[in-house]
Amino acid sequence: MSVYRLLLTADRLRVSPSRAGLRITPCAAQTGLDGDATSGFVVPVEKHAGCLGYGQGGARVTHPVGPSNKLTGSALGALTVPVATRIANHLAISCGQFKADDIVLVMPAATTCCSN
């Protein structure tokens, strides 16, 4: 599942031109890989203050180990922080609630539908 909180302020979004007009992209709240260093799959895990893009491929709703997570034996070491945890983390930094003018999208992915 992916979670995005879209705020229409220039300091929290990257706005770039595209053929269809302007494209607005939220910056990632967390980036990195926790994989096998001998295979080149280690990228320092970083949290980005002020960034509100919470999407992570392979993450489950509540279980912390999704496809390509290092605990599955995968060399990739994908960060698969559960959606429920990412929402709780966001609420912890935003006074425990979404604002009335926030657009909040929670989208299940095929991995969740087909693997659970």
d(CA 53, CA 73): 27
Contact 38, 77 (CB under 8 A): no
What stretch of H or E contains 85?
helix 83-93
pLDDT tens sequence across 21-38: 555 566 888 999 999 999
Q: What's the pLDDT score for residue 54?
A: 84
Q: What is the pTM assigned to this prediction?
A: 0.69
d(CA 108, CA 115): 12
Residue stretches of the chain with pLDDT short of 70: 1-26, 108-116
